[in-house]
A and B are shown apart, each in its own frame.
Chain A
Amino acid sequence: MKNKRGDLLNNVLGVIIAVIGLLIIFGGVYMLYQKYVNIDSENAKNTINVLEAKINAIENEQTGRVLIQGFDYTGDAWYIVGWGRDDIHKPGKCFDSCICICKLNNYDDFSDRNVTSLYDSVNVNGIKKCQDNGFCRTINVKSVKASRVARIPKNLLSWEIGIKELWESVPFQRYDDYIRVRKNVMEVIVTKNAEAVMVSHDDTDTLEYDKQSLKLELSGKFIDPND
């Protein structure tokens, strides 16, 4: 005759052991994923941590040059974006003013990718991505802005593209409300006062990138050459 109590004990013991075993295995797999597959996110986290530390180290009413070591990411590029305390549209994790690093898509996540615009910023879609996959750090000032300035030489556009009319409509400088993280080293200028922090990057020297992207953009086939 079977011992029911013994069976029950065996089953419970078996289930407990199996659950523990599964937890350990899944934990191990998750750890491996975090360590190996999620390299981009780890690098992005490091980058924003360094930037936060540098911003905090700069005194009020001071300007400092900060060198940011970029990283080799795959797929969409990473961008540094800032939001102020009073901004209505910002990631939920950005309670106060903050500086974030987010992986964004060239097409979907920006308000205007038109070459003739003077100005471009992250759209609602991009904000959602920042909330889901980005990393934000709180900065205790009223306003935080990250911006990219790119001066496009006249001769580059007119000579390379060869369309005079188009050149007339293209701004000499464009300002964007984000900084694209490079795969090598980039210099940003941090300006700080009691009310605001401004992180800016002069992207002019990436002419090759601009040249290629503008040409492709005009031909309707904008493909990010760095992707």
Chain B
Amino acid sequence: MINKKGEITSAQIVMIVLAIAGFAIVIYLFFMLDLGSIGTRETCHLSVLRRATVPQIVQGYVPLTCTTDKICVTDGFFGGKCEKQFAGEKDITLVRLSGSPDEKRRKIEEISANAMYDCWSMMGEGKLDIFWTPSQEVGWSPTGSTCVICSRVAVDESVSESILYDIDEKRGVNVNRYIAENKVPGKEITYLQAFTDRGISAYSRFGNAADFAGTLPTNEYYKQLQESLKGSLSKEQRKATKEALALVEKELASTANNHELAFVFSQIKTKEIDSTTDILADIAGMGATAAGATFAMPVVGNIGTALYVGVLGVIAGSTSEIYGAWNAYESQITAMGYCGPFASTKKEAAQGCSVINAVNYDFKSINNICQKLEGNP
């Protein structure tokens, strides 16, 4: 057949089709990858899903595009912008408190509950196997916890200490109460039910803060210890009290006036099939409310102990009983978690525990629960 001038041959048609198809694929990938146009939480959640659904061998090459959310809570129109905590950092969400002291407290509770819930849902509610490494799989490197710092909530100096903490426990900031009593926006269940697959509606020890030294603000606990020393104590009691006092002093010195919390998601795996059940039992023994595979743990410091004892058989790092570094706000927030099999692309699902908790934003507190970090600062 004669090839008329300018007529397109079948080879050219194939090439054009291939070029268009290639272009379409690239454009598709571009939009899939360049997720800057949608919210950071959605971006993070998509990357978590992507990592959880790819074959495990390539999991390490799929980045978690989770960026730490930075929230500054400030008082009124003239409050600062958390310059002390976020100096030089960008993309800070400013939340200005207004109204009565109680309204301000409720706002802080709401921010904290949402930060915790957003983190939990972003990371697949702890049920996805997202931190797989080949070296751990074959036993070349030890099992350790991997974390993502979902958000940092800083309280500006303009917010009075009396807003955060009130000697009357019912009036002060109480995130646990908020989590137990308030519904997740757009849902018919409370935050607590959402964290625990509707398994827990109330904490077994809710409101019984005196059971835990860690639920007291450190400075209050310090005062109590000083008072106790003035009373009549046995030799052993005096020694123990002095030791506790030294610990508190150290803690106060290291993190005083930090006024910044990190909402951290952590995951740790175990090779033993039954060990997650044992861990749950350990956790329950340490004052947690457990339901099925989920739990709520009131003393943050204990969660590290429970997980490390359960998974590694050793206590890693310091698990000081004093976790309330700067006030009740930090030390009271209950850690929520899941222990059991993870959803995975692998036939034999991995086992482990995932925990979401709020810790003081200092290296000791974070490293106590995290051996590795992922995500962007």
Q: Which A positions have Cβ atoms within 8 angstroms of B? A: 1-3, 5-7, 9-10, 13-14, 17-18, 20-21, 24-25, 27-28, 31-32, 35-37, 39, 42-43, 46-47, 50, 53-58, 64, 67-72, 74, 183-187
Does B77 count as interface, using CB distance less than 8 angstroms? no
* Cα of A87 to Cα of B262 in the assembled complex, Å: 39
CB contacts (< 8 Å) of A35 on chain B: these are 33, 63
Could you pull out 11 A-B pairs where Cβ atoms are within 8 angstroms?
A: A6-B5, A6-B7, A9-B6, A25-B22, A31-B26, A35-B33, A39-B61, A47-B377, A56-B88, A64-B87, A67-B362
Contacts A54-B87, A67-B362; is A21 near B376 (CB within 8 Å)?
no
Number of residues on chain B facing chain A (CB within 8 A): 46
* Cα of A185 to Cα of B25 in the assembled complex, Å: 38
* Cα of A31 to Cα of B34 in the assembled complex, Å: 10
A172 → B minimal CB distance (Å): 22
Contacts A46-B376, A54-B87, A54-B88; is A184 near B366 (CB within 8 Å)?
yes
Contact with A along B1-19 (1 / 0, CB 8 A): 0111111110110011011
Name the CB-closest residue of A to B149.
A69
A58 → B minimal CB distance (Å): 7
B25 → A minimal CB distance (Å): 7
A84 → B minimal CB distance (Å): 22
Contacts A17-B16, A57-B87; is A27 near B373 (CB within 8 Å)?
no
B3 touches A3 (CB 8 A): yes
Name the CB-closest residue of A to B147.
A184
Contacts A21-B22, A43-B376, A183-B372; is A13 near B362 (CB within 8 Å)?
no
In B356-374, the 8 Å CB interface with A consists of 361-363, 366-367, 370-374
Does B89 count as interface, using CB distance less than 8 angstroms? yes
Looking at chain A's contact residues, the main secondary structure is: helix
A28 touches B26 (CB 8 A): yes
A53 touches B89 (CB 8 A): yes
* Cα of A89 to Cα of B372 in the assembled complex, Å: 33
* Cα of A74 to Cα of B133 in the assembled complex, Å: 10
Does B138 count as interface, using CB distance less than 8 angstroms? no
* Cα of A25 to Cα of B16 in the assembled complex, Å: 14
Contacts A39-B63, A53-B89, A67-B361; is A184 near B371 (CB within 8 Å)?
yes
A72 touches B19 (CB 8 A): no
Contacts A39-B63, A184-B373; is A50 near B4 (CB within 8 Å)?
no
A181 → B minimal CB distance (Å): 11
B61 touches A36 (CB 8 A): yes
Contacts A39-B61, A67-B361, A67-B363; is A183 near B29 (CB within 8 Å)?
no
Q: Which of A7, A27, A67, A74 contacts B3 (CB 8 A)?
A: A7
* Cα of A185 to Cα of B22 in the assembled complex, Å: 42
CB contacts (< 8 Å) of A64 on chain B: these are 87
In B56-97, the 8 Å CB interface with A consists of 60-63, 68, 87-90
Looking at chain B's contact residues, the main secondary structure is: mixed
Q: Which of B6, B29, B149 contacts A6 (CB 8 A)?
A: B6
Q: Which of B12, B62, B376 contacts A36 (CB 8 A)?
A: B62
Name the CB-closest residue of A to B30.
A31
Contact with A along B189-214 (1 / 0, CB 8 A): 00000000000000000000000000
Closest 5 CB pairs of A and B: A57-B88, A53-B88, A21-B19, A57-B87, A28-B26
In B7-51, the 8 Å CB interface with A consists of 7-9, 11-12, 15-16, 18-19, 22-23, 25-26, 29-30, 33
* Cα of A3 to Cα of B1 in the assembled complex, Å: 12
Q: Which of B2, B26, B372 contacts A184 (CB 8 A)?
A: B372
A88 → B minimal CB distance (Å): 31
Does B334 count as interface, using CB distance less than 8 angstroms? no
B373 touches A37 (CB 8 A): no
In B322-337, the 8 Å CB interface with A consists of none
A69 touches B6 (CB 8 A): no
Q: Which of A7, A24, A56 contacts B26 (CB 8 A)?
A: A24
Does B151 count as interface, using CB distance less than 8 angstroms? no
Contacts A25-B22, A184-B371; is A6 near B30 (CB within 8 Å)?
no
* Cα of A9 to Cα of B4 in the assembled complex, Å: 11
B15 → A minimal CB distance (Å): 5
A18 touches B373 (CB 8 A): no
B188 → A minimal CB distance (Å): 36
Contacts A21-B19, A28-B26, A184-B373; is A2 near B3 (CB within 8 Å)?
yes
A14 touches B89 (CB 8 A): no
Q: Which of A13, A37, A67, A186 contacts B12 (CB 8 A)?
A: A13
A187 touches B362 (CB 8 A): yes
* Cα of A189 to Cα of B209 in the assembled complex, Å: 36
Q: Which of B12, B19, B29 contacts A31 (CB 8 A)?
A: B29
CB contacts (< 8 Å) of B370 on chain A: these are 184-185
B350 → A minimal CB distance (Å): 17
Name the CB-closest residue of A to B21.
A21
Contacts A6-B7, A10-B12, A184-B367; is A58 near B146 (CB within 8 Å)?
no
CB contacts (< 8 Å) of B147 on chain A: these are 184
B11 touches A14 (CB 8 A): yes
CB contacts (< 8 Å) of A57 on chain B: these are 87-88
Contacts A13-B12, A25-B22, A58-B87; is A71 near B4 (CB within 8 Å)?
no
B19 touches A24 (CB 8 A): yes
* Cα of A69 to Cα of B373 in the assembled complex, Å: 7
Name the CB-closest residue of B to A74.
B60
CB contacts (< 8 Å) of A32 on chain B: these are 29, 33
